[in-house]
Amino acid sequence: MTRKTQLFVRDLRHKRREISQLQGDLANMQDHVAVLEARAKNSGKPTFSPAQIRARLAMRSAQS
């Protein structure tokens, strides 16, 4: 492989890693926006603590 080709391949790998990282960042941002939208949509509605959810799930599995 020529030096020019080696540099090209190295740069290409680097750009692919950057693109992959950016895609991951974008997915995280989209998840964050979804959480914010869900919170806004459910604003003012009753919420449950993790302990309350565990208790409800335990009751459901006991009934099955």
How many domains would you assign to the chain? Answer: 1
User: Is this structure's pTM higher than 0.75?
Assistant: no
pLDDT score of 15 more than 90: yes
How far, in Å, CA of 44 to CA of 57, rounded? 24
Note the pLDDT tens digit of each residue in 17-35: 999 999 999 999 999 999 9
**What percentage of the chain carries pLDDT values higher than 90?**
86
Q: Which domain holds residue 46?
A: 3-63
Token representation of residue 20: 């992959």
Note the pLDDT tens digit of each residue in 43-56: 999 999 999 999 99
Sign for the CA dihedral angle at 26, 27, 30, 35 comes to negative
Residue 2: which residues within 8 A CB-CB, separation 6 or more? none
